[in-house]
């Protein structure tokens, strides 16, 4: 339908593309079926008709105003014609269309194409400058290759008569229209004609264009710059000669059309040699820059057409399909056999005459232009600077178009060799055979061009440094001369992308069951494989000599290459950014080919960074080049270049402009990204070369710069420190000096902890966490304490001496902790934790580009997720704590002794930031597990921790809780090894508090306990920790009625952590063979009934609170004087305990550990449901919070049956609020459990909800109706169908009784309302569909509108909702209703009137 109507654009493109992709299958099905004369298959004609309709309607889809549709149509035409053998006058076998019909189709196709070209509009403004090309910028060229591909396939498969018919029409159109907005499109149309039949097309298309251009330019003013005369005539004339705008546009259009058309002309163009030479000379002599540019396009295309290799007769079919004679046989390159005829393509091989003509053109426009360039630069032939500029521009354009046309056919430079001998590079092992065309010119011509261009470049830099267009031309020429094969590579890249798009719809899969023809690979048309071979040939030509000089260190670039590279390097530092960018790209390509030249360029570029007199543009150009991946990779292999690069960056602070500083920052960031270490060759060169730079000297020089905090900007100080760290890490490959370098670097960063620069301090932290790795004082299971003490005298850290000398300085740790405290920026809001993002807290957006390279080499901490909101947001930085831990492991107990007094001072400081850094330092040393730590714990650490617990300060509780959590966290890769001090820390936390302490201290102790307990690994807890859990559990169960709400929340939190840890431990020991002691403990665990005790207590508390709340609601407020719902002290205790239980539920569900506590949560379900609404607002708020989490929890067997039982009993509760809350829970419960509930359980739930439809409370009845509507949407069709049928019959009976009797019926209001609500639930269960039963149900529901409230309001709301949800499709769905039913609905929907 989409192909026939052409109106649904969004469907049409997809439909057309689908037919294009399926064209081959449809053709094969049609022809294979018709050939077998199978009478039982009638689909062949259908497929042929579909293809013919598609082909005919494709013409209607060619529309300049709808690019996607037009391109899809062209893809379809190209795909269909790729299947056909040939369209000729007397076709043998089965034909698709009669000859006359196809002739008409061809005429109509060309008319559509001509109309499309006449109405095309370029999508962008045409570039009139240097890069103006034959492309006009319309969607036919820019959005895909389908246009040209379609034309080539169609014209290539036409018979001679049809081709001549098409050629005449195309020739007439081209010669009678000038379309500057469709230059490329018209040119490609002519190019397809020439490619299909060059001899005929040249006569009808090319020759008339040549004659027209010659006649148009005859008699016009000339400049004499075209190579056939001098320019004295133009010099004498003071007025600049010009062409009329109309003539300029016409000639430019015709010449650009000509340039595209002759791309595949080949030997057919030789007949018109004189005309081409005259056209080129006239074009370059023209005073119009447009005409000069068009002439350059013609020269480039003409040279390429003469000397390059390209396929001809590419679209001619040479093999028919064996099962369908009218179809071409597609080919798989994997199936070619020796006995099959060779189907190799036919190539254009330049003849002697073509090569001679090409050499003649080179003499006229390459050699002559080079001579003109040299003459202009040496002698002042033009007194007028404007004339000189124009002459230079035209001359450079002639040279550029000549080189662009012959590509790599001009022989490359001869390389030089280190040993002085001349070798043949073609015999190198990396030689790749490939050529783009026949050789023209000589190597001497390329060398001469390099020398003259070098002279020209120097002249332009000196005399015409502001003429950017001349420099762009120079760069293009230098690129073509120096980067041999790069032009072919660019062409291959562009062609490869286009080929991927155009070949997508022309693939026949290897397995073909339609004609029982299988192959080893994908089949494609022959022209597509030829195109792919042409791509490969182009690629081989681009790579033929590329790797010769990259893999053989004995081969050096010639002196002429050095000249070209020097010129490009100079131009890459030009004052104009456009010139710098273009020159930089060409220079990089040359450096990739000649890696030996990179070091020389690096030295020049880094000198610009160090030189304070370097202009801004030179520094910007240097940074742009140095930031490339090629240079950054080469740096690590050349010590001299590497040293120059680093020193150049670090010594560039004198450049104060914002652009330069931004460029240097970006360069340094890229260096950090790509730096992957230093090659060992640098270290070997450093050892063997006494005269050159030394790696150790480089480290010393950078180290001195990293200490300079006054003379350098903070960014450069940070850069120096970062480089120092990278070099220290890279020096691991330098074993002779690595220990000394590592020791000096670690000491340097340890001192930087006291730096006044925040960014330097942060980098020092990352560096120390990376460098401190040896840990000789660390105790482990493999190294007992006694053995460690014996070996300490023999095994010491290589860093210990340097580090100990620093941290034992007087006041070192005091200054260090004070400096680190400045990093902790404490805000008033503290909305989120800043852990890990401390860098962002003190730097601006502009500084992030230079500081974002901070890195972490250790696992993220904490290992376990934290859901404890009680702890608040902390500013505890684990990498700060890790410094002190590794410093302690590196140097042993002297660190603890040096830290003692400072820690005591900072732990009791009033500033929270100082307490933060004290918490980090204490956490690190507590987790260090070094020899002597136990003695220090007994000496002062335990007392310090007890003082922290008893301190009345509350601001730093989150940091101290994080400290304890870090100290007890598991060690090792998986965090399973228990730290040395965990048991002692837990004993200190479990120890009873003094009698008279504030509730703040009690809450702090419980917060510390919860932080420690979540870091335990229950499956690996020793017996002592399990006993500790039960000891704490008894304490918590006893204190559930604590008077402080904060403490009760902490108790509930700890209960959830303790109970989940115990359950996880139980599940572990129950599945493993146990030792006797563990077995006894497991028996004790089984005997303990803490879970049952908690559930029973909650049930009793819920009943008492409900009773107290109900009785409290019966008393007046004046009769009682007690506050908070007028409850006595016993009821107050009940509420406090229930609040603790609710905190337990909330914490368990948030923790992710609720799966091991499902039995407890099921037992607590009824209290949560029943206490949603009480006289105590705080309790109800907690109950609602627990309810919101609990209703989404999935329960599995055997807990699911208990949940159903609790829900069914709650639905029959005497309190209507409990029944309503149960219905709310059922909404989510059934959504989560429908597919795991048994049929019996689902039926019981349905019955229970149905009973609530006749509840005494209106709110419960309406709520039950909503739940039933949701249940009917759940997919249980059997229960839903039975319910609908039953309620419809009951409603009919009630309605009949209402009609037969008076309004005062024996039927109760609740019963009638329940039936109406059930009917409304059925209607609302299908909000958008219209099943067959719905009209009767909604009509019957509408007939109850005359009842009293609340029945009337229920009917009105339900019918209104029905109309709203069915409004979109009502025009279709109303046909399912009878006239009487529609009248009833209309009466219900109409508003009531006083006069009704």
Look at residues 956, 955, 1139, 971 and name the one whose alpha carbon lies nearest to residue 1047. 1139
Give pLDDT, residue 29: 77
Chain-centroid distance of CA 132 in Å reads 35
Distance, first Cα to last Cα, the chain: 52
Report pLDDT digits (tens) over 1091-1103.
888 999 999 999 9
* Contact of 1183 with 1101, CB cutoff 8 Å: no
What pairing do the DSSP bridges indicate for beta strands 555-556 and 416-417?
antiparallel
Residue 761's contacts (CB-CB under 8 Å, 6 or more residues apart) are 752, 753, 755, 819, 820, 823
The token pair that represents 1196 in the structure block: 């599995």
Cα gap 64→116, rounded to integer Å: 5
* Contact of 455 with 563, CB cutoff 8 Å: no
The token pair that represents 870 in the structure block: 């009680």
Cα dihedral 311, 312, 314, 319, rounded to 10, equals: -110
Look at residues 756, 730, 762 and name the one whose alpha carbon lies nearest to residue 745. 730
Which residues are 321's β-sheet partners?
324
* Contact of 280 with 245, CB cutoff 8 Å: no
Is residue 190's pLDDT more than 60?
yes
Tell me which H or E stretch contains 347.
Answer: strand 346-347
- Alpha helices per DSSP H over 1234-1328: 1239-1251, 1258-1273, 1277-1300, 1309-1324
Is residue 1396's pLDDT more than 50?
no
Give pLDDT, residue 1124: 44
Least reliable range by pLDDT among 198-212, 550-564, 1049-1063, 1071-1085: 1071-1085
Is residue 1123's pLDDT more than 50?
no
Give pLDDT, residue 42: 47
Cα gap 490→853, rounded to integer Å: 35
Is residue 95's pLDDT more than 60?
no
* Contact of 1195 with 1233, CB cutoff 8 Å: yes
Cα gap 1011→960, rounded to integer Å: 10
Which residue shows structure tokens 């340094």? 668
Is residue 125's pLDDT more than 60?
no
pTM, 2 dp: 0.76
Tally the C-alpha atoms within 13 A of residue 1071's C-alpha that lie toward its C-beta: 7
The token pair that represents 1303 in the structure block: 């309004």
Give pLDDT, residue 174: 95
Give pLDDT, residue 355: 95
What pairing do the DSSP bridges indicate for beta strands 346-347 and 324-328?
unpaired
Is residue 189's pLDDT more than 80?
yes
* Contact of 698 with 648, CB cutoff 8 Å: no
Give pLDDT, residue 614: 93
Tell me which H or E stretch contains 1061.
Answer: helix 1045-1069
Give pLDDT, residue 52: 74
Question: In b/e form, how buried is each residue of 119-152, taking b as 16+ CB within 10 angstroms?
Answer: ebebeeeeeeebebbbbbbbbbbeebbbbbbbbb
Chain-centroid distance of CA 1244 in Å reads 51
The more confident residue out of 1112 and 1366 is 1366
Cα gap 1032→1013, rounded to integer Å: 11
The more confident residue out of 1079 and 616 is 616
Chain-centroid distance of CA 962 in Å reads 35
* Contact of 630 with 591, CB cutoff 8 Å: yes
* Contact of 1184 with 1228, CB cutoff 8 Å: no
What's the mean pLDDT when you consider all of the chain?
83
**Is 844 buried (19+), middle (13-18) or exposed (0-12) by CB count in 10 A?**
exposed
Task: Give the C-alpha distances (Å, rounded to integers) separating 338 from 341, 343, 347, 522, 1198.
Answer: 8, 11, 22, 19, 72
* Contact of 225 with 158, CB cutoff 8 Å: no
Tell me which H or E stretch contains 325.
Answer: strand 324-328
The token pair that represents 1312 in the structure block: 């009638």
Torsions phi, psi for 930 (to 5 deg): -95, 165
Give pLDDT, residue 164: 93
**Is 419 buried (19+), middle (13-18) or exposed (0-12) by CB count in 10 A?**
exposed
Residue 613's contacts (CB-CB under 8 Å, 6 or more residues apart) are none
Tell me which H or E stretch contains 311.
Answer: strand 311-312
Please state the rounded mean pLDDT for residues 1289-1308. 74
Cα gap 479→449, rounded to integer Å: 12
Report pLDDT digits (tens) over 392-403.
999 999 999 999
Is residue 336's pLDDT more than 70?
no
Chain-centroid distance of CA 239 in Å reads 59
Give pLDDT, residue 1078: 56
What is the band of 1355 on the pLDDT scale with cuts at 50, 70, 90? very high
What pairing do the DSSP bridges indicate for beta strands 416-417 and 320-321?
unpaired
What pairing do the DSSP bridges indicate for beta strands 555-556 and 324-328?
unpaired
What is the band of 41 on the pLDDT scale with cuts at 50, 70, 90? very low
Is residue 1306's pLDDT more than 80?
no
The more confident residue out of 453 and 332 is 453
Report pLDDT digits (tens) over 222-270.
888 877 655 443 444 445 778 899 999 999 999 999 999 999 999 999 9
Three-state DSSP state, 801: helix
Task: Please write down the long-range contacts of 969-978, taking CB distance under 8 Å and 24 or more positions apart.
Answer: 969/861, 969/862, 969/863, 969/927, 969/1015, 970/863, 970/1015, 970/1017, 971/927, 971/929, 975/863, 975/1017, 976/1017, 976/1020, 977/781, 978/1020, 978/1022
Report pLDDT digits (tens) over 686-744.
666 555 567 778 888 888 887 766 667 788 888 888 888 888 888 876 766 678 888 88
Least reliable range by pLDDT among 328-337, 768-777, 1080-1089: 1080-1089
Give pLDDT, residue 89: 55
Least reliable range by pLDDT among 340-349, 839-848, 873-882: 839-848
* Contact of 139 with 67, CB cutoff 8 Å: yes
Specify which of 211-220, 237-246, 555-564, 784-793 reaches the highest per-range mean pLDDT: 211-220
* Contact of 437 with 409, CB cutoff 8 Å: yes
Report pLDDT digits (tens) over 807-855.
989 999 999 999 999 888 765 544 344 344 444 445 555 455 555 555 5
Please state the rounded mean pLDDT for residues 51-72. 83
Least reliable range by pLDDT among 493-502, 775-784, 1104-1113, 1378-1387: 775-784
Three-state DSSP state, 417: strand
* Contact of 880 with 917, CB cutoff 8 Å: yes
Cα gap 3→8, rounded to integer Å: 9
Is residue 873's pLDDT more than 70?
no
Report pLDDT digits (tens) over 1007-1062.
999 999 999 988 888 888 988 998 899 899 999 999 999 999 999 999 999 999 99
Three-state DSSP state, 94: coil
Give pLDDT, residue 229: 55
The more confident residue out of 1298 and 233 is 1298
């Amino acid at each position: 339908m989409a192909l026939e109507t052409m109106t649904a654009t969004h469907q049409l493109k997809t439909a057309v593309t689908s037919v294009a992709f399926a064209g081959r299958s449809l053709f094969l099905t049609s022809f294979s079926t018709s050939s077998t004369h199978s009478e039982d298959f009638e689909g062949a004609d259908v497929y042929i008709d579909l293809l013919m309709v598609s082909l005919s309607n494709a013409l209607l889809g060619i529309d300049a105003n709808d690019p996607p549709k037009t391109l899809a149509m062209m893809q379809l035409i190209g795909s269909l014609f790729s299947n056909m053998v040939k369209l000729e006058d007397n076709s043998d076998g089965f034909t698709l269309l009669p000859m006359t019909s196809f002739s008409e189709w061809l005429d109509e196709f060309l008319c559509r194409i001509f109309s499309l070209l006449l109405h095309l509009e370029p999508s962008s403004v045409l570039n009139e400058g240097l890069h103006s090309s034959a492309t006009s910028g319309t969607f036919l060229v820019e959005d895909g290759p389908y246009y040209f591909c379609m034309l080539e396939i169609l014209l290539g498969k036409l018979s001679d008569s049809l081709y001549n018919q098409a050629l005449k029409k195309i020739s007439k159109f081209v010669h009678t229209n000038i379309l500057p907005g469709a230059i490329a499109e018209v040119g490609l149309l002519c190019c397809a004609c020439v490619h299909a039949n060059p001899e005929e097309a040249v006569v009808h298309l090319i020759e008339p264009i040549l004659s027209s251009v010659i006649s148009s330019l005859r008699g016009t003013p000339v400049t004499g710059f075209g190579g056939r005369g001098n320019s004295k005539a133009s010099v004498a004339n003071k007025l600049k000669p010009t062409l009329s705008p109309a003539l300029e546009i016409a000639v430019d259009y015709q010449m650009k059309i000509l340039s595209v058309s002759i791309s595949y002309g080949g030997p057919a163009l030789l007949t018109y040699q004189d005309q081409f030479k005259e056209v080129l000379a006239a074009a370059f002599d023209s005073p119009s820059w447009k005409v000069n540019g068009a002439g350059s396009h013609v020269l480039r295309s003409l040279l390429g057409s003469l000397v390059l290799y390209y396929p001809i007769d590419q679209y001619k079919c040479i093999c028919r399909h064996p099962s369908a004679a009218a179809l071409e046989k597609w080919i798989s390159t994997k199936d070619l056999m020796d006995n099959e005829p060779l189907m190799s393509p036919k190539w254009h091989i330049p003849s002697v005459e073509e090569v001679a003509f090409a050499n003649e053109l080179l003499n006229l426009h390459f050699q002559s232009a080079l001579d003109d360039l040299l003459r202009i630069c040496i002698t002042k032939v033009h007194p007028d600077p404007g004339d000189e500029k124009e002459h230079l521009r035209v001359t450079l354009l002639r040279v550029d178009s000549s080189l662009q046309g012959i590509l790599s056919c001009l022989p490359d430079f001869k390389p030089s060799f280190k040993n002085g001998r001349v070798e043949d590079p073609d015999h190198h092992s990396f030689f790749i055979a490939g050529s783009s065309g026949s050789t023209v010119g000589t190597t001497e011509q390329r060398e001469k061009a390099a020398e003259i261009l070098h002279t020209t470049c120097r002249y332009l830099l000196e005399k015409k440094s502001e003429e950017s267009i001349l420099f762009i031309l120079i760069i293009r020429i230098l690129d073509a001369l120096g980067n041999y094969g790069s032009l072919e590579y660019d062409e291959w890249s562009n062609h490869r992308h286009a080929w991927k798009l155009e070949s997508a719809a022309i693939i026949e899969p290897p397995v073909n069951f339609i004609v029982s023809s299988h192959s080893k690979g994908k089949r494609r048309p022959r022209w597509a494989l030829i195109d792919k071979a042409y791509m490969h040939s182009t690629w081989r030509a681009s790579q033929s000599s590329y790797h010769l000089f990259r893999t053989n260190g004995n081969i050096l670039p010639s002196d002429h290459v050095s000249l070209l590279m020097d010129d490009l390097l100079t131009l890459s530092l030009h004052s104009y950014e456009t010139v710098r960018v273009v020159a930089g790209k060409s220079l990089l390509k040359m450096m990739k080919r000649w890696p030996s030249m990179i070091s020389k360029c690096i030295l020049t570029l880094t000198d610009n960074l160090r030189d304070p007199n370097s202009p801004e543009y030179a520094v910007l150009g240097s940074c742009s080049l140095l930031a490339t991946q090629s240079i950054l990779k080469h740096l690590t292999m050349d010590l001299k270049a590497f040293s120059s690069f680093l020193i150049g960056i670090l010594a560039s602070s004198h450049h104060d402009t914002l652009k330069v500083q931004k460029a240097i920052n970006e360069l340094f960031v890229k260096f950090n990204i790509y730096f992957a270490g230093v090659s060992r060759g640098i270290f070997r060169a450093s050892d063997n070369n006494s005269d050159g730079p030394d790696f150790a000297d480089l480290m010393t020089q950078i180290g001195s710069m990293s200490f300079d905090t006054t003379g350098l900007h903070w960014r450069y100080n940070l850069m120096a420190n970062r480089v120092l760290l990278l070099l220290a890490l890279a020096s691991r490959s330098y074993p002779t000096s690595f220990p000394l370098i590592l020791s000096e670097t670690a000491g340097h960063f340890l001192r930087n902890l006291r730096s006044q620069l925040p960014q330097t301090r942060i980098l020092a932290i990352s560096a120390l966490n990376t460098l401190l790795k040896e840990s000789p004082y660390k105790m482990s299971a493999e190294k007992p304490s006694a053995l460690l003490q014996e070996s300490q005298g023999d095994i010491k850290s290589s860093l210990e001496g340097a580090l100990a000398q620093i941290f034992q300085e007087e006041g070192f740790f005091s200054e260090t902790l004070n400096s680190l405290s400045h990093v902790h920026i404490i805000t008033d809001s503290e909305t989120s934790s800043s852990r890990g993002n401390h860098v962002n807290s003190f730097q601006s957006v502009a500084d992030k580009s230079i500081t974002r390279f901070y890195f972490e080499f250790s696992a993220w901490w904490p290992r376990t997720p934290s859901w404890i909101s009680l702890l608040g947001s902390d500013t505890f930085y684990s990498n700060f704590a890790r410094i002190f831990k590794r410093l302690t492991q590196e140097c042993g107990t002297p660190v603890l002794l040096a830290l003692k007094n400072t820690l005591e001072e900072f732990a009791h400081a009033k500033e929270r930031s100082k307490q933060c850094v004290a918490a980090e330092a204490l956490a690190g040393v507590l987790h260090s597990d070094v020899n002597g730590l136990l003695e220090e714990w007994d000496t002062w650490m335990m007392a310090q921790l007890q003082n922290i617990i008893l301190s009345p300060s509350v601001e730093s509780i989150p940091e101290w809780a994080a400290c304890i959590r870090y100290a007890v966290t598991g060690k090792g890769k998986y965090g399973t090894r228990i730290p040395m001090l965990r048991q002692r820390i837990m004993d200190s936390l479990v120890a009873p508090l003094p009698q008279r302490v504030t509730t703040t201290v009690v809450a702090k102790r419980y917060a510390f306990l919860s932080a420690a307990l979540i870091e335990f690994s229950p499956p690996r807890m020793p017996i002592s920790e399990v006993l500790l859990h039960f000891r704490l559990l008894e304490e918590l169960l006893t204190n559930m009625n604590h008077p402080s709400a904060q403490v009760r929340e902490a108790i509930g939190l700890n209960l959830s952590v303790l109970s989940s840890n115990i359950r996880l431990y139980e599940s572990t020991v129950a599945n493993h063979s146990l030792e006797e002691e563990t077995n006894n403990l497991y028996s004790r665990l089984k005997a303990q009934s803490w879970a049952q005790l908690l559930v029973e207590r909650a049930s009793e508390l819920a009943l008492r609170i409900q009773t107290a709340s109900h009785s409290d609601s019966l008393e007046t407020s004046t009769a009682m004087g007690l506050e908070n719902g007028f409850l006595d002290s016993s009821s107050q205790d009940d509420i406090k305990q229930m609040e603790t239980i609710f905190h337990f539920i909330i914490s368990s569900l948030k923790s992710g550990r609720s799966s091991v506590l499902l039995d407890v949560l099921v037992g607590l379900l009824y209290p949560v449901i029943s206490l949603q609404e009480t006289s105590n607002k705080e309790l109800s708020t907690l109950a609602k919070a627990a309810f919101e989490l609990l209703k989404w929890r999935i329960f599995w067997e055997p807990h699911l049956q208990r949940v159903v039982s609790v829900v069914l009993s709650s639905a029959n509760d005497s309190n209507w609020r409990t029944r309503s809350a149960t219905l709310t829970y059922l909404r989510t419960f059934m959504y989560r459990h429908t597919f795991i509930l048994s049929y019996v359980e689902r039926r019981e739930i349905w019955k229970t909800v149905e009973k609530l439809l006749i509840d005494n409370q209106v709110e419960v009845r309406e709520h039950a109706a909503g739940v039933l509507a949701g249940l009917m949407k759940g997919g249980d069709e059997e229960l839903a169908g039975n319910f609908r049928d039953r309620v419809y019959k009951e409603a009919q009976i009630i309605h009949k009784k209402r009609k037969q009797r008076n309004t005062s019926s024996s039927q109760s209001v609740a019963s009638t309302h329940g039936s109406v609500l059930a009917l409304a639930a059925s209607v609302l269960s299908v909000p958008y569909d219209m099943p067959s039963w719905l009209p009767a149900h909604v009509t019957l529901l509408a007939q109850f509108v005359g009842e009293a409230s609340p029945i009337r309001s229920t009917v009105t709301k339900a019918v209104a909702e029905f109309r709203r949800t069915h409004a979109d499709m009502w025009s279709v769905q109303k046909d399912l209703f009878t006239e009487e039913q529609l009248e009833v609905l209309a009466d219900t929907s109409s508003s009531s009137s006083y006069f009704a």
